[in-house]
Amino acid sequence: MTPAARLAATIALLAEIETSPRPADQVASFYFKGRRYIGAKDRRAVAESVWRVLRRRARLDWWLGTIGHADRSARALVLADLAIESGKPKAEMFEGVHAAAPPNPDERRMIDLMTGKSLFHRDMPTWVRSEYPAWMEPRLSALFGDGLNREMGAMRDEAPLDLRVNTLKATREDARSALAAEGVVAEPTALSPIGLRLAARVPLVQFAAWRDGLVEVQDEGSQLVALLVDPQPGMAVADYCAGAGGKTLALAARMENKGRLVACDVAEWRVDRAQDRLRRAGVHNVTRRVLSGESDKWIKRSAKSFDRVLVDAPCTGTGTWRRNPDAKWHLTEADLAELVERQRAILASAARLVKPGGRLVYATCSVMREENEEQVEAFLAAHPDFAPLPAPELWPQAVGGACPVAGPWLRLSPFRHGTDGFFAAVLSRRDG
């Protein structure tokens, strides 16, 4: 593709993302699948340009308002970003069969005013500078205090690509060597003993280490949550909100394929989607189960029969904004309130599965207190037969090394730990 065609594709893809209710990565995947003529390098270049705009959305919007440019369309955002990033575009950027239309007079004025502007300005509100919805300011300020700018700044930036080593097939050094043999540089993660962090993003599906099931894409924080479940070989374990199976795979590896692992979800398509991943990883102790909801009869029949129950609850995903920068602008206060109620029902339902002496692990990829500490505190108040197990006490056996938090809960953030934002609480059901 020519630079002009790439620019046009960037505008077109961002426009589709702006108008679609689906996540940006799904929209991009569908967009490129429908345009097989776009080569791998061009796809990567277009995607990088789109995601750069998504990460700067609030700041670009602020600048457009400041200079008096009313248009906030995808085209306006891309042209504004281009002016800041590279300066005033040359005429040939709008020439050719697949090129975008040349700038009109209003756009030329906007480009002139935006050229040379900085992405940061002293007059920008904190929520603009750190790229999060204004309605979240009081909650995030209360959560992070003086560290708000640092924490949200780290969440604004692009995430690294982390891999979990599948210990059913390889050690960390084996996997690292296999990747190195294919030219992929990977370093051990700082906290997870089964993680690797890539120096640069690569199309992982093209490499044998992934195709042979030696590694899976999984953020280091997610790996730590799965390790904290501490499932032992021979145990009965339930992954209550298994989704596409990322943590299910990690639990199965920790169990050495021994014991019973049930992957539950309310969406049959998500449960089915995990099958290829299970097969590639060499996992064979997993039973998949589609639940009709929190009142599914299987839950009643299986009451108090599991040693470990992981509830990776549906949440706002605020901890994953490094990877999904578009998601923040779709999130509303009503969404948060609805999710909190749903989490409460899911947690109470899943708790029925835990046997006396067993453990319930509640986790989210959110930083919001309503979804995390407050949710756990409310559960414990309503369920006196459960008690917290502090993360630092479990860490030496479950993970190894020094625990990165003082406890009792595992709360991870991009700034402090270099992971996505995660929360996990381990609760034990009293005997008797």
pLDDT digits (tens, 9 = 90+) for 316-333: 999 999 999 999 999 999
Residues 315 and 409 in one domain: yes
Q: What is the pLDDT of residue 432?
A: 65
30-59 pLDDT per residue, tens: 999 999 889 989 999 999 999 999 999 999
Q: Is 365 a catalytic residue?
A: yes
Average pLDDT over residues 55-71: 97
Mean pLDDT of the chain: 95
Give me the catalytic one of 264, 315, 365, 403. Answer: 365
Residue-wise pLDDT for 399-410, tens only, equals 999 999 998 999
- How confident is the model over 210-225, as a mean pLDDT? 97
Using alpha carbons, select from 294, 288, 172, 274 the residue that is nearest to residue 238: 288
Q: What CATH number has the domain bearing residue 390?
A: 3.40.50.150
Q: Range with the lowest mean pLDDT among 84-93, 103-112, 135-144, 158-167?
A: 84-93
Q: Which of the four pLDDT bands, split at 50, 70 and 90, describes residue 215?
A: very high
Shared domain check, 241 and 173: no
Residue 20 has pLDDT above 80, yes or no: yes
- CATH number of the CATH domain containing 178: 3.30.70.1170
pLDDT digits (tens, 9 = 90+) for 229-270: 999 999 999 999 998 889 999 999 999 999 999 999 888 877
End position of a domain, from candidates 117, 145, 169: 117
> Could you read off the pLDDT of 342-361 as tens digits, one per residue?
999 999 999 999 999 999 99
Q: Considering the domain boundaries, does residue 134 fall inside one?
A: no
Mean pLDDT lowest for which of 144-153, 164-173, 194-203, 369-378? Answer: 194-203
pLDDT computed for residue 274 by the predictor: 81
- Do residues 108 and 73 both lie within one domain? yes
SS (H, E, C) the chain: CCHHHHHHHHHHHHHHHHHCCCCHHHHHHHHHHCCCCCCHHHHHHHHHHHHHHHHCHHHHHHHHHHCCCCCCCHHHHHHHHHHHHHCCCCHHHHCCCCCCCCCCHHHHHHHHHHCCCCCCCCCCCHHHHCCCCHHHHHHHHHHHHHHHHHHHHHHHCCCCEEEEECCCCCCHHHHHHHHHHCCCCEEECCCCCCEEEECCCCCHHHCHHHHCCCEEECCHHHHHHHHHHCCCCCCEEEECCCCCCHHHHHHHHHCCCCCEEEEEECCHHHHHHHHHHHHHHCCCCEEEEECCCCCCHHHHHCCCCEEEEEEECCCCCHHHCCCCCCHHHCCCHHHHHHHHHHHHHHHHHHHCCEEEEEEEEEEECCCCHHHCHHHHHHHHHHCCCEEEECHHHHHHHHCCCCCCCCCCCEEECHHHHCCCCEEEEEEEECCC
Residues forming beta bridges with residue 289, ordered by sequence position: 264
Q: What is the pLDDT of residues 119-128, one digit of tens each?
A: 999 999 999 9
354 and 405, same domain (yes or no): yes
Answer with the one of 88, 117, 146 that is the final residue of a domain.
117
- Residue 422: pLDDT over 90: yes
